[in-house]
């Protein structure tokens, strides 16, 4: 029931996911009338490997996590998480209220030993492959110790998903020099540098995030969320400019480009090709990286962007399946146990 589009986006995304993954099964939770009207012929039984279970409640985006935890125990979000806690499902995916998802996840699933708070870990595109940023919004304020915990969890995640034994990690900062940053970042840098399990490379600035070389970028949830949304906004702007260029450079774009003496007001070479344009659109589309994992919970929980379209939500489902198959939760638990044994 979550996200800007709700069942209108999620039901078609679920059907697409099932068609692409013949071994997968899905359970959809939500209000009966809202769900049914988005199935062909209002018949979920006609969709192979998909079950629907109805709830009587929905968690709204405006609801506080504490209120949702107390009063929404027959909501679609609660029931989905409960199915994972009871072992009848391998992962939970939601596009709804992030705070409520975290609070209910903590209550129903519990937290990994050695972790103070879970973190939201999201993948970002790079020149080659992807990098993983956390925290992307779960913890606005973090201690140096918590930033170190994020680095340990992300190292386990990337090792499992990307098959990289010692993925390099860096701290997001306002400069690369050791004297830069606030007190927490400087303290965290000392902890990460002294941790023999981590492959800590130092500070990284925001303009280097997508260049490559660093697999893991650590920051608090305030910085991470602002960074993520700034990148998404820039990507959308690039896509809009590409659309203008594709339509023979509409006049509204020409004044901005004409400010440069080298401005070329013709359609960029090759952009008239649908294949080239489609490739550029895919490279800059934030939806292809939709689906952030709530690292630190004792099960796979994926948070989809509320604004995700059908393709983006299908991507979140793919991310959940990948994390479940790679046993990310078990990998994180084993990694933390190993760290605590050596500490």
- Mean pLDDT of the region 324-337: 91
- Mean pLDDT of the region 216-220: 97
Q: How far apart are CA 59 and CA 2, in angstroms?
A: 8
- Mean pLDDT of the region 228-237: 84
Tally of CB atoms within 10 A around 305 = 22
- Mean pLDDT of the region 232-245: 78
- The count of residues in the chain is 343
- Mean pLDDT of the region 322-338: 91
Residue 73 to residues 10, 53, 81, 185, 306: CA-CA distances in angstroms? 21, 14, 10, 38, 21
251 pLDDT band (50/70/90 cuts)?
low
Q: Who's near 238: CB < 8 A, 6+ residues apart? A: 284
- Mean pLDDT of the region 205-209: 91
With H, G, I as helix, E, B as strand and everything else as coil, classify residue 234. helix
Would you state the pLDDT for residue 281?
62
Cis preceding-peptide flag for 283 (omega within 30 of 0): no
- Mean pLDDT of the region 166-186: 95
Give the least confident one: 80-84, 140-144, 211-215: 211-215
Q: Say if residue 275's pLDDT is above 50.
A: yes
Would you state the pLDDT for residue 84?
98
Would you state the pLDDT for residue 267?
44
pLDDT one-digit tens code per residue, 309-322? 999 999 999 999 99
Pure H helices in 183-295: 183-194, 221-246, 254-258, 274-284
Q: Say if residue 262's pLDDT is above 50.
A: no
Copy the structure tokens of residue 336. 């933390």
52 pLDDT band (50/70/90 cuts)?
very high
Percent of the chain whose predicted confidence (pLDDT) is above 70 = 87
Q: Who's near 325: CB < 8 A, 6+ residues apart? A: none
Q: What's the mean per-residue pLDDT of the chain? A: 87
- Mean pLDDT of the region 99-109: 96
Q: How far apart are CA 111 and CA 334, in angstroms?
A: 14
- Mean pLDDT of the region 118-147: 91
> Cβ(146)–Cβ(187) under 8 Å?
no
Q: Helix %, strand %, coil % for the chain, to 5?
A: 50, 15, 35
Would you state the pLDDT for residue 261?
44
């Amino acid at each position: 029931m979550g996200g800007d589009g709700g069942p209108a986006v999620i039901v078609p995304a679920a059907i697409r996911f099932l068609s692409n993954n013949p071994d997968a099964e899905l359970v959809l939770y939500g209000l009966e009338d809202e769900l049914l009207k988005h199935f062909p012929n209002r018949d979920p039984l006609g969709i192979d490997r998909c079950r629907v279970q109805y709830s009587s409640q929905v968690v709204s985006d405006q609801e506080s996590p504490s209120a949702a935890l107390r009063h929404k125990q027959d909501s679609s979000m609660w029931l989905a998480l409960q199915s994972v806690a009871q072992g009848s499902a391998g992962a939970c995916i939601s596009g709804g209220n992030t705070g409520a998802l975290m609070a209910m996840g903590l209550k129903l699933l519990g937290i990994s030993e050695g972790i103070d708070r879970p973190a939201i870990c999201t993948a970002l595109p790079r020149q080659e492959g992807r990098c993983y940023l956390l925290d992307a919004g779960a913890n606005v304020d973090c201690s140096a110790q918590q930033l170190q915990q994020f680095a340990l969890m992300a190292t386990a995640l990337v090792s499992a998903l990307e098959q990289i034994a010692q993925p390099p990690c860096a701290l997001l900062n306002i400069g690369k020099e050791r004297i830069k940053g606030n007190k927490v970042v400087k303290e965290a840098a000392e902890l990460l540098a002294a941790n023999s399990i981590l492959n800590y490379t130092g500070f990284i600035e925001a303009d280097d995030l997508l260049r490559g070389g660093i697999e893991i970028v650590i920051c608090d949830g305030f910085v991470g969320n602002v960074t993520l949304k700034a990148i998404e906004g820039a990507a959308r702007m690039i896509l809009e400019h590409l659309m203008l260029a594709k339509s023979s450079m509409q006049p509204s774009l020409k004044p901005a480009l004409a400010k440069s003496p080298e401005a070329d007001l013709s359609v960029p070479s090759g952009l008239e090709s649908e294949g080239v344009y489609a490739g550029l659109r895919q490279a800059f589309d934030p939806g292809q990286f939709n689906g952030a994992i709530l690292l630190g919970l004792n099960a796979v929980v994926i948070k989809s962007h509320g604004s995700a379209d059908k393709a983006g939500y299908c991507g979140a489902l793919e991310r959940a399946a990948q994390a479940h198959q790679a046993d990310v939760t078990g990998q994180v638990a084993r990694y933390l146990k190993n760290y605590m044994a050596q500490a």
